[in-house]
Structure 1
Amino acid sequence: MKTLTIGDYQRLGGLPGLEARYIEGHITEAERYFAHTKQGALLTQKQIRNLLLALVNRETLKTVPRSIEELEHIVLADHVGEVKPLQQVVQDCLDYLQQREVIRKRIDPDTRNELWLLDHDYLCAGVLEAERRANRWLALAEAGGRAFDEAGSHLLKKWRTLLSPWQQLVLVMQRLLGRFRYGTLRAYVLWGLLRFMPYILVPVLVNYGWYQWSAREQAFQILWKIGVSEGGEPTPFELDAVWTLAISNETVRFRFLEQALANPENAKRFSRCAGIATRAIVGLDPSRREKVFKEFILP
């Protein structure tokens, strides 16, 4: 037997992890055993786990006696198709787990019928932990939902209980694969979408900042090219700059006007080509003309 080190113990999740590992090992071995020895109908790990769960009282952590009929009904509840072939497999699985001392049977003193139960109450915790690990995303969502409700009106605590974007994406994948249903957790999961906001807002703000900076730079380059000549007609160099201004977007045009009126020196340069530059900014759009008048002339 391999020596259990402290590192192994911690990696497995402590005592609950060891208990779950013990149950998981028997579930896996049972599935493999029937896969190699039986032909036709087989039980899945989920069905074997449900069989063991049926023998557990979640509140008292004590084993619950069940008849073979009850166990067959629980294990085969979601089975589609003929169940009769699987009924014998359920019995064989019970016998197999009994040989491994995971479960045992006893005779009901009143009915004289056979009842099945876990070999000991201490196995209940391992069965429940094995279920939690098998459905860890559901367990994670349920734990988060409880913490969210318990946080009350404390917004920071509520925020901390929300699932991370990565966890949300995993839940979506589990939902698409049919392994998870939102159910009563739907509202909590929807609140969790707020966790995506920083990942959306940061790129948006960065892009917006870059866009505004780029517009200012373009406007500065255009302003630098005009007003070079002291008088007379605009030079081809200045006309080219004005044409660039005319075909630029509205943000560049207004950033140009802001910089042109920002200080006396810029205003002097702008005044030398004010006529054609203003037409390039306003164009034939009355609403743009009104906006320029309200934002730049009236103040």
Structure 2
Amino acid sequence: MSKVLVTGGSGYLATQLIAALLREGREVRATVRSTAAREAGLRAAVRRGGADDAGLEVVAADLMADDGWPAALAGCDEVHHVASPIPATRPEDPDELIVPAREGVLRVLRAARDAGARRTVLTSSFAAIGYTPKPDADYTEDDWTDPDTPGLAPYPRSKAIAERAAWDLMEREGGGLELVVVNPTFILGPTLTTDLRMSAQLVKSMLDGTLSVLPRQYFGVADVRDVADLHLRAMAAPDAAGRRFLALADGPTMSFRDVAETLRRRLGGWAARVPTREAPGEEPRRPVIHNDRARKELGWTPRPAETTIVEAAESLRDLGLLAPMA
């Protein structure tokens, strides 16, 4: 059986995906921008996920450079393209986000095609689906975010542009390569890595009390473990080629206040610093997001959102990443 390539290997989702592949007995090659900076943390993370990292090879490849990608793809029949830039702060120039997202996905898809890979499963986002307002606020995989939506932030614009570019490339010059896209909502759940990304940082900031006022916004939640599982199912199902799959936890969309109340109710005293006050303003619309396609076509069964939120917090505690109580 050939190796599986996972890009962005040291990330929140990628470490869960790599651990799942290794637990299945697959040999995995993971790309990181720098092996010196990332390899040790990646290996520690997959071991936390109950996997033996002996079957893991870590190589360096950058989304903005051609060097390294032919070697990374050599001998890989399956590619999970998870890597994507997510800035800590909103960039002044949207192209700082859009160009790496678009050029990175095109670079990986071309390298996969040229290496003779069978299929690539791409992590896109609900941001590529549901950030253009609709009268009914009801979203499925048939919806697309219009990059020219007035006031659209750089991140959803980058996700819509990058995913469109991927599908356009497949239509024009995909060769024998198949593409499947996974569109997760806001990814939460337990972290295997101590290098926290945006979603885990949100839970940490609530528990540490550094987030004092809750934004008024509704969003979907997807468990990081379930998104990894959806990647595996999307790779394995023959009929998934050419399809998009929304990833959403079991249950309705949530507000930041819902998340805060879940933490306070389920975690007791060590969630005492979680804020309860919402920012002033009108109550936003609650979107309805459908995950029927993944459930019906791939047999995917997501966890309840409350489980995802609680176990995200517990992982931060267990890794010693929370500020001590005063």
> Which has the larger share of helix?
1
TM-score, normalised relative to structure 2:
0.22
TM-score, normalised relative to structure 1:
0.24
> Which has the larger share of strand?
2
Larger Cα-atom Rg: 1
